[in-house]
Amino acid sequence: MEEEMHTDAKIRAEIGTGCSPRGPGCSLRHFACEQNLLSRPDGSASFLQGVAEKSRERLIRNTCEAVILGTLHPRTSITVVLQVVSDAGSLLACCLNAACMALVDAGVPMRALFCGVTCALDSDGTLVLDPTSKQEKEARAVLTFALDSVERKLLMSSTKGLYSDSELQQCLAAAQAASQHVFRFYRESLQRRYSKS
Amino acid sequence: MKETPLSNCERRFLLRAIEEKKRLDGRQTYDYRNIRISFGTDYGCCMVELGKTRVLGQVSCELVSPKLNRATEGILFFNLELSQMAAPAFEPGRQSDLLVKLNRLLERCLRNSKCIDTESLCVVAGEKVWQIRVDLHLLNHDGNIIDAASIAAIVALCHFRRPDVSVQGDEITLYTPEERDPVPLSIHHMPICVSFAFFQQGTYLLVDPNEREERVMDGLLVIAMNKHREICTIQSSGGIMLLKDQVLRCSKIAGVKVAEITELILKALENDQKVRKEGGKFGFAESIANQRITAFKMEKAPIDTSDVEEKAEEIIAEAEPPSEVVSTPVLWTPGTAQIGEGVENSWGDLEDSEKEDDEGGGDEAIILDSIKMDTGVEVSDIGSQDAPIILSDSEEEEMIILEPDKNPKKIRTQTTSAKQEKAPSKKPVKRRKKKRAAN
């Protein structure tokens, strides 16, 4: 006997206007989320590209596995289907955020929330948080971290490119600062959802 | 996952209600649900909501060589996918019948009606033509997929802009969107499908059935029409027998509905065009309604990273230096090298446990080191047989050493602890870092 839960998450990783050039570092782009927007599933997300993106699926899966209390639902399959609506940079981080929101919306018990943050290091060592696709392409290294909400610990990291030890620690510290912001966004959007007024 | 079957009382209730000309959501017989069209930031990306049914459409283009028997025509490719999130019953392997039927209908409606001018997609006859690819994804299934999909397809095609191309003699120049404004496709007309569901052997008729109504219907009639009242495709399925005047009546209704929907589409396209021209904000992010309680937005937010450098330096100072990693490769033969020594091979143990007794002490199997990405593998020194050997796990196996003093027999058991997985998940990260530092 098997039960299945489906979790939905649509990812909107877009900016409305063209991106204005930002100074080095540090601002997160505008983001928006909508919960419970599909009537059929409890929550799901699917990928447009398919086979080539198995590694991304695996990363997201491992992050979710670390956080979900699987022992409360034995013999249950939890399916997370992610659909990429459009890609404007920081795709993996956006997928992680969407997956977390969808799991919350579906009511799956978790031991912590998680969020994804992407940093890009360009050729002169400047750190850019939440890069656009153009910035990602021109960067020397792109690092994506999944951080948990309880102690801002690292759940998953996926990096591409060349960087030094100290740069890694810097990016990690910056990601931790940014994750505070993302968690505040989660909290406020959930408060709004469940508020009585 | 199997679809939950419809209960008999639900079925009876729906049919009785239809006999009394009542629908569950309060619509009239010929009413459509609310249609909402929104566009993404890229040209050619749109989302159509027909009530709760949602379809995402995306158009892309590519320069390819044409088909041999149609050297001067571009290629059109349509693909509808029923995402797994649309309904629990849609699993990647399992929905072939419905999928094939929908895809065929969509192709007949859009390709055979020649709504897109394929001759205009030709760049160099016989060598280079545009291949236009329309991908539709069903995100939520609340009935009437075909209508929503046909609207999404035609809207996406009307919205799409392909890069400009110029041919000078033998040279083809493809301009990027920054150099020259992209060019819209040339579309002759907009065919839109309208579905009619029949109940009680054709006695009762409903337009735009939702998911419950689709489950109890006897048959479905789909008419694809454009606003000039030309029928592009007509299909009747389910084995119902319809009278001639019923079909004619349906086509008249379809004409009215298509006119309304076409107007809606044109208005949406115009609005989007206006917003883009004025430089306002566009894209899906903007179309999330502000007033909805389930939606929330946050503006661009600066992050204070001034103390990042100090924090990082602290961490590095506190952290111990990376331990010595064996990094001298041993070259066995040209093309085969070994870095480090592998984990003890436990595969042969179950059969070769007798052999192990003979061999005695040394049981270091030299295996090529494979870096496990998913699981951390912690190897403690196998030299001393007294200490229990901890090999931490992948999800499937856990080694339990029963007789630590002798050569151990290893048994594999299923592990169900989720906590153990969290710890190893950090290990591969650190290992990767160590190797980089050593290099």
Does the pLDDT value for residue B59 go beyond 90? yes
State which amino acid sits at residue A7: T
Q: How far away is chain B from the Cα of A171, in angstroms, using its nearest Cα?
A: 8
Structure tokens at B80: 């509808």
Tens of pLDDT, residues A96-107: 888 888 888 888
A to B CB pairs, distance under 8 Å: 191
Q: How confident is the model at residue A3 (pLDDT cuts 50, 70, 90)?
A: very low
How many Å apart are CA A99 and CA A60, to the nearest integer? 8
The structural domains of chain B, ordered by start, are 22-282 (3.30.230.70)
| CB-based contact A34 B294, cutoff 8 Å | yes
Express as a percent the part of chain B with pLDDT over 70.
68
Name which of A90, A31, A35, A97 is nearest A64 in CA terms.
A97
Spatial contact of B435 and B322, defined as CB atoms under 8 Å apart: no
| CB-based contact A81 B85, cutoff 8 Å | yes
Does the pLDDT value for residue B125 go beyond 60? yes
Structure tokens at B309: 């450098």
Does the pLDDT value for residue A191 go beyond 90? no
Please give the pLDDT value at position B258: 95
- Mean pLDDT, to the nearest integer, of B273-293? 71
State which amino acid sits at residue A49: Q
Name which of A138, A114, A118 is nearest A129 in CA terms.
A118
How many Å apart are CA B30 and CA B206, to the nearest integer? 6
Residues in chain B: 439
> Which residues partner with B192 through β-bridges?
B225
Burial class (CB in 10 A: 0-12, 13-18, 19+), A87: middle
Tens of pLDDT, residues B178-228: 888 899 999 999 999 999 999 988 889 999 998 999 999 999 999 999 999
Please give the pLDDT value at position B306: 61
The ipTM assigned to this model is 0.72
B167-170, Cβ contacts within 8 angstroms, sequence gap of 24 or more: B167/B123, B167/B124
Express as a percent the part of chain A with pLDDT over 90.
12
Does the pLDDT value for residue B290 go beyond 70? no
Q: How confident is the model at residue B349 (pLDDT cuts 50, 70, 90)?
A: low
Tens of pLDDT, residues B373-425: 333 333 433 334 444 554 444 555 555 666 655 444 444 444 444 444 344 44
Spatial contact of A112 and B166, defined as CB atoms under 8 Å apart: no
- A191-195, B77-81, B179-183 — which is least confidently predicted? A191-195
Residues 1-40 in A contacting B (C-alpha not used; CB under 8 Å): 4, 6, 8, 10, 12, 14-17, 25-40
Does the pLDDT value for residue A112 go beyond 80? yes
Q: What is the dihedral of CA B242, B246, B252, B258, to 10 degrees?
A: -40
The whole-chain average pLDDT of chain A stands at 76
CA distances from B204 to B29, B196, B236, B238 (A): 9, 10, 15, 15
Does the pLDDT value for residue B173 go beyond 70? yes
CA angle B388, B390, B395 (to 5 degrees): 145
| CB-based contact A83 B309, cutoff 8 Å | no
Q: From A192, which residue of chain B is nearest by alpha-carbon distance?
A: B293
- Contacts of B69 by beta carbon, 8 Å cutoff, 6+ apart: none
Q: How far away is chain B from the Cα of A135, in angstroms, using its nearest Cα?
A: 17
Spatial contact of B130 and B174, defined as CB atoms under 8 Å apart: no
| CB-based contact B308 A170, cutoff 8 Å | yes
Tens of pLDDT, residues A132-173: 888 888 889 999 999 999 888 899 999 989 988 888 888 888
How many Å apart are CA A159 and CA A37, to the nearest integer? 32
The structural domains of chain A, ordered by start, are 86-195 (3.30.230.70)
Q: From A166, which residue of chain B is nearest by alpha-carbon distance?
A: B312
CB contacts of B302 in chain A (<8 Å) are 26-27
Q: How confident is the model at residue B291 (pLDDT cuts 50, 70, 90)?
A: low
Q: How confident is the model at residue B144 (pLDDT cuts 50, 70, 90)?
A: very high
Q: How confident is the model at residue B150 (pLDDT cuts 50, 70, 90)?
A: very high
* A189 compared with B32, residue with greater pLDDT: B32
- Mean pLDDT, to the nearest integer, of B423-434? 42
- A56-60, B57-61, B162-166, B312-316 — which is least confidently predicted? B312-316
- Contacts of B18 by beta carbon, 8 Å cutoff, 6+ apart: B199, B200, B204, B206, B213
CB contacts of A173 in chain B (<8 Å) are 305, 307-308, 311-312, 315
CB contacts of A192 in chain B (<8 Å) are 293, 296
- Contacts of B75 by beta carbon, 8 Å cutoff, 6+ apart: B64, B66, B67, B118, B121, B129, B130, B131, B132
Substitution target from A12, A14, A134 for chain B, most B beta carbons within 10 A? A14
pTM given for the model: 0.72
